[in-house]
Amino acid sequence: MLVYIREAHPDSVLFIPDSGKEVLKKITQTESADKRVENAEICLTALKLSLPTVIDREDNKANIAYSGWPDRMVVVGVDGRIAYRGDPGPKGFKPQEVEEWLKRLPKS
């Protein structure tokens, strides 16, 4: 699942799809849960992602707990503890490394 945290690059201007065409939109820092939902939807659309997504609340507890900024891949075990923590992105954002790690897990 993707956890959308506070905006890493506030005031960025990006081309995003809107009503079938690409438009420029300024991505502002999030000041409310509603704004985070809006930015998360833009992120998913712009990156053509389709995965379950949640937002971190304004208190940023998920970001703090998982060191999520700017991006990071984390696997949480069934016991609720971090089982795998990737390096910070963008250089540490390695989906294939996580996939290989998951494949090495014992089958139960």
The pLDDT of residue 108 is 67
Domain locations in the chain as residue ranges? 1-65, 70-108
The pLDDT of residue 86 is 87
Nearest to 34 by CA among 70, 69, 4, 72: 4
DSSP structure class, residue 81: S
Burial 71-98 (b: 16+ CB within 10 A, else e): ebbbeeeeeeeeeeebeeeeeeeeeeee
**Average pLDDT value over all residues in the chain:** 86
The stretch 78-83 carries a mean pLDDT of 88
Nearest to 50 by CA among 3, 14, 1: 1
**Is the pLDDT reported for residue 71 higher than 70?**
yes
pLDDT band at 56 (very low <50, low <70, confident <90, very high): very high
Q: Both tokens of residue 33?
A: 């849960």
pLDDT band at 51 (very low <50, low <70, confident <90, very high): confident
pTM above 0.85, yes or no: no
Nearest to 2 by CA among 35, 47, 34, 64: 47
